[in-house]
Amino acid sequence: MGSLLKRIGNYLSLVKFSHTIFAMPFALLGFFTAINTGNNAFTWRLFILVLLCMVFARNSAMGFNRYADHKFDRLNPRTSSREIPSGIISPVSALIFVIVNSILFIISASLINRLTMFLSPLALFIILGYSMTKRFTSVSHMFLGLALSLAPVGAYIAVTGKFATVPVLYSLIVLFWVGGFDIIYSLQDSEFDSNNRLFSIPVKLGLKQALIISAFLHLLAVLSAIISGFTAHAGLLYWIGTVIFTLMLIYEHIILKPGDTSSILKAFGTINSYAGVSFCAFAIADLYIHLSL
């Protein structure tokens, strides 16, 4: 039993399961937006299937990222202790993990409705494809943003079987927000990436310009949140969440010191996790309070 739990822990560490907190709140926002604005009934079956899709999709994406990058990870002092380069999990085992989770994602999506079934291979292509983009483009950060931005739209479609404006606007928030903080995260590896012909905004433009672009993307994320609020006729709680989200992004850029790994990790992980959860929690609460008045 102890050995099994250790293996499970290794795979959870492989995919950084704790980072699910970036996309999951927006998936829940898309889900409850559909429930509360489209006269759709809540069912535990559908809710669990949406959660399973999120978990399986992210496991596939992160597992493939670790598999695709394991040779680079072995060369990079910052990542050499990860599960594959350190020998805890073999590349073949990681690939099998990706394949299994990809199949489970498609099965889960197919059990929801016809549109999610048809869109699931495309979604899988996008979330897996991100891992290859830094080999040929400096805007790979936006591909990560695109991959995570599928969460609110996908959850909305799971409930309604159709697209709508508001969840698409929520996806824009995720696109710009994630693109911005992934630039911050990549600051740690700018020298390594440059030496190994990997592309990123910091490599192409330098650290100072990269931070300016990151701040601009976060400005676009805030503007998208504001437009979303007006489009959805949101109430007070939504706007409180938007203010908190904005202040946290401002604080993130205030504390950043490009050469200081601790400030980068705090800005990337801690602050952004609070920012996303706070915004979505207030937005979901607003759905139940404002729309019931």
Per-residue pLDDT tens digits for 241-286: 999 999 999 999 998 877 777 778 777 778 888 999 999 999 999 9
Return the pLDDT at 38: 66
- With the C-alpha atoms ordered 3, 9, 15, 20, is the resulting torsion angle positive or negative? positive
Q: With a threshold of 0.85, does the pTM exceed it?
A: yes
Return the pLDDT at 257: 78
Quick check: 67 and 95 in contact, CB under 8 A?
Answer: yes
Average pLDDT value over all residues in the chain:
92
Quick check: 154 and 170 in contact, CB under 8 A?
Answer: no
pLDDT at 166 exceeding the cut of 90 = yes
What domains, with CATH codes, occur in the chain?
Answer: 2-290 (1.10.357.140)
Indicate the range of 39-48, 85-94, 147-156, 257-266 predicted with least confidence.
257-266
Q: What angle do CA 92, 194, 264 make, to 5 degrees?
A: 85
Quick check: 214 and 184 in contact, CB under 8 A?
Answer: yes
Return the pLDDT at 141: 96
Percent of the chain at pLDDT exceeding 70: 96
For residue 40, the 8-state DSSP code is P
Q: Which residues contact 210 (CB under 8 A, 6 or more apart)?
A: 183, 186, 187, 190, 200, 201, 202
DSSP string, 95-156: HHHHHHHHHHHHHHHHTT-HHHHHHHHHHHHHHHHHHHHTTT-TTHHHHHHHHHHHHHHHHH
φ and ψ at residue 22, rounded to 5 degrees: -75, -45
- With the C-alpha atoms ordered 203, 208, 213, 219, is the resulting torsion angle positive or negative? positive
Percent of the chain at pLDDT exceeding 90: 81
* Element containing residue 246 per DSSP (H, E): helix 236-255
Q: How far apart are the first and last CA of the chain?
A: 51
Nearest Cα neighbor of 78 from 186, 189, 194 is: 189
| Segment 177-181 mean pLDDT | 96
* Element containing residue 42 per DSSP (H, E): none
Quick check: 101 and 63 in contact, CB under 8 A?
Answer: yes
- Collapsing DSSP states into helix, strand and coil, what is residue 244? helix
Indicate the range of 1-10, 158-167, 240-249 predicted with least confidence.
1-10
pLDDT at 62 exceeding the cut of 60 = yes
